[in-house]
Amino acid sequence: MPVMRVRAARIHSDQARPGSTANDVSVLVARAQAGDAEAFGEVYDCYVDQVFRFIYRRVLDRQVAEDLTSETFLRALRNLAAFRRPGGDFAGWITTIARNLTINHLQSHQRRECPVAEVHELVSTGDVAGPEAAAVDRLTREALVAGIAKLSPVQRQCITLRYLRELSIEETAQALGKTPAAIKAVQHKALRALRGLLPATVVMPA
């Protein structure tokens, strides 16, 4: 599919994409549905950064995010005839494709026990300015990693997906093959356990 090959190298351009109205996108999608490959390339340009950020925030792996972003647009192109929303919430449609691919990836990954090393890597991302703030932040992160490591495997998976990968209750439920109600129960028990394990200086989510 030429448009994907030509434009794939631009997936991580730091330049902002030009803004497009919903009407503009609807026109481009209609042209793409009629077989205009260049029109789909313009749609790709409008949404590729948004889709990549959505996926990367959840998988926290650049190569995986690249692969899933490419697969998202390939699936969108293959199923473009199925997009029949007048006025077109194309952003919502393609985000749903990205979400489903991301959850499928996380399902295959998270059903294995979440290793402590991965938790440490996720918790350790981010910079804090100033030596004193950095020292406090390091101690907080170390305490959090140690606390999460003491949770049961399913609690560790739940906390990792919910608060480190920032998935919703519903997305976490899909990734772990459980109901939203079950995830809420696991999350409640995990947070309660963490509060008992961590120093009072560590701020826990509600």
Across 90-114, average pLDDT: 80
Asked if the model's pLDDT at residue 17 lies above 80, the reply is no
Q: Which of 110, 138, 164 is the last residue before a domain boundary?
A: 110
In a domain, 204, yes or no: no
Q: Are residue 143 and residue 168 in the same domain, yes or no? A: yes
Q: What is the pLDDT of residue 201?
A: 53
Within-domain flag for 205: no
| DSSP character at residue 111 | T
- Arithmetic mean of pLDDT, 58-63: 83
Q: 189 and 161 share a domain?
A: yes
Residue among 109, 112, 186, 104 at smallest CA distance from 151:
186
Specify the pLDDT at position 48. Answer: 94
- Residue 126 and residue 90 in one domain: no
In a shared domain, residues 95 and 20: yes
Q: In this structure, are 183 and 169 located in the same domain?
A: yes
User: Looking at the structure, do residues 9 and 98 belong to the same domain, yes or no?
Assistant: yes
Q: How confident is the model at residue 6 (pLDDT cuts 50, 70, 90)?
A: very low
**CATH number, position 132:** 1.10.10.10
Dihedral, CA of residue 46, residue 48, residue 51 and residue 56, to nearest 10: -140
Pick the more confident residue, 66 or 197: 66
Residue 29 domain flag: yes
Task: Report how far Cα 151 is from the mean position of its chain's Cα atoms.
Answer: 23
* CA separation for the pair 178, 183 (Å, rounded): 7
Q: Kindly state whether residues 92 and 171 are assigned to the same domain.
A: no
Domains: count for the chain: 2
Instruction: Answer yes or no: do 104 and 122 share one domain.
Output: no
Give the per-residue pLDDT at 10: 40
CATH of the domain at 31: 1.10.1740.10
| 202 within domain boundaries | no
Entry pTM:
0.59
Q: How confident is the model at residue 205 (pLDDT cuts 50, 70, 90)?
A: low
pLDDT confidence tier of residue 129, bands split at 50, 70 and 90: very low
Looking at the domain assignment, is residue 206 inside a domain? no
How far lies 14's CA from each of 11, 53, 72, 102, 197, in Å?
9, 12, 20, 23, 41
Measure the CA–CA gap between 125 and 70, rounded to whole angstroms.
25
Q: Is the pLDDT of residue 103 over 90?
A: no
For every residue of 118-182, DSSP letters joined together read HHHHHHT-S--SSHHHHHHHHHHHHHHHHHHHTS-HHHHHHHIIIIIS---HHHHHHHHT--HHH
> The domain containing residue 86 runs over which residues?
2-110
11 shares its domain with 101: yes
Last residue of a domain, one of 93, 110, 127: 110
Residue 187 and residue 90 share a domain: no
Taking 50 as the threshold, does the pLDDT of residue 68 lie above it? yes
In a domain, 63, yes or no: yes
* pLDDT score of 5: 37
